[in-house]
């Protein structure tokens, strides 16, 4: 099965930049989208054969998650952990699929307390689900886990996305029975999934790996590959693809 995770930084803008062609060509079983920045009635995707599950923020033009799925789930949970539309969870016979857009800690870590509270709620939620059946969680997690995951770790130490607090929260999640599928497969590979729009960062490949597929430990033997699609444009992020035998 093929899963895609993609922060589109505005679904309406991304669709105007050719992202729909990528979705169609991918023939993915699941397409998990973050930062839709749209209400349900504003999202018009011409993609036959997919069920659409949307969680929009109360604040218009902000945040938002969505999953496009070829198979109808047993249950859908979009309650999330706030009113910012950051989570969609689908339940299937053999696994749960969670699409996450984790809050940014912001400049000077202005929102770090909220971020850590959100992460702890998410971690407990995943642990609870994992006791029933394996979990696949993906999305823009807004953290570079280790120095290998960003171009300039020294200058970014302590800043949003690479603070000790955020990295430790990520460690805590992994210690709760989950694995970073990409890094498990590729311990030393250097690739990024997000680049600032400033200073020609993408052109120079000055980026961060902040988009992930996190899987229950017992699912890892079924993971065939995780691919960071740096060749796909339309956002300041690029998609990440998970191929897994379920």
Catalytic residues: 101, 140
Nearest-angstrom CA–CA distance, 94 and 144: 30
**DSSP label at residue 150:** B
Nearest-angstrom CA–CA distance, 162 and 150: 9
CA 127 to each of CA 39, 99, 122, 174, 178: distance values in angstroms, whole numbers, following the listed order = 30, 15, 9, 11, 9
CA torsion sign for 56, 61, 65, 66 is positive
What b/e sequence results for 177-202 when a residue is b if at least 16 CB atoms lie within 10 Å of its CB, and e otherwise? ebbbbbbeeeeeeebbbbbeeeeebb
């Amino acid at each position: 099965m093929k899963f895609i995770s993609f922060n589109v930084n505005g679904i309406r803008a991304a669709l105007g930049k050719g992202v729909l062609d990528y979705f169609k060509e991918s023939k993915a079983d699941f397409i998990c989208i973050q930062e839709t920045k749209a209400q349900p009635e504003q999202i018009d995707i011409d993609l036959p054969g997919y069920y659409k599950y949307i969680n929009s923020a109360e604040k218009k033009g902000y945040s938002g998650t969505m999953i496009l799925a070829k198979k109808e789930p047993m249950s859908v949970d979009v309650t999330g952990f706030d009113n910012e539309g950051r989570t969609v969870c689908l339940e299937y016979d053999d696994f749960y699929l969670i699409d996450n857009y984790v809050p940014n800690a912001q400049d000077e870590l202005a929102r770090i307390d909220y971020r850590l509270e959100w992460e702890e709620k998410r971690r407990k939620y995943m642990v609870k689900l994992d006791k029933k059946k394996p979990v696949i969680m993906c999305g823009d997690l807004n953290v570079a886990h280790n120095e290998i995951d960003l171009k300039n770790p020294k200058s970014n130490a302590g800043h949003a996305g690479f603070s000790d607090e955020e990295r430790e929260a990520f460690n805590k999640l992994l210690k709760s029975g989950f694995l970073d599928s990409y890094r498990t497969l590729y311990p030393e590979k250097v690739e990024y999934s997000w680049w600032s729009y400033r200073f020609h960062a993408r052109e120079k490949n000055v980026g961060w790996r902040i988009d992930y597929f996190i899987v229950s430990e017992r699912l890892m033997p079924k993971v065939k590959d995780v691919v960071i699609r740096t060749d796909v444009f339309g956002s300041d992020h690029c998609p990440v693809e998970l191929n897994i035998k379920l």
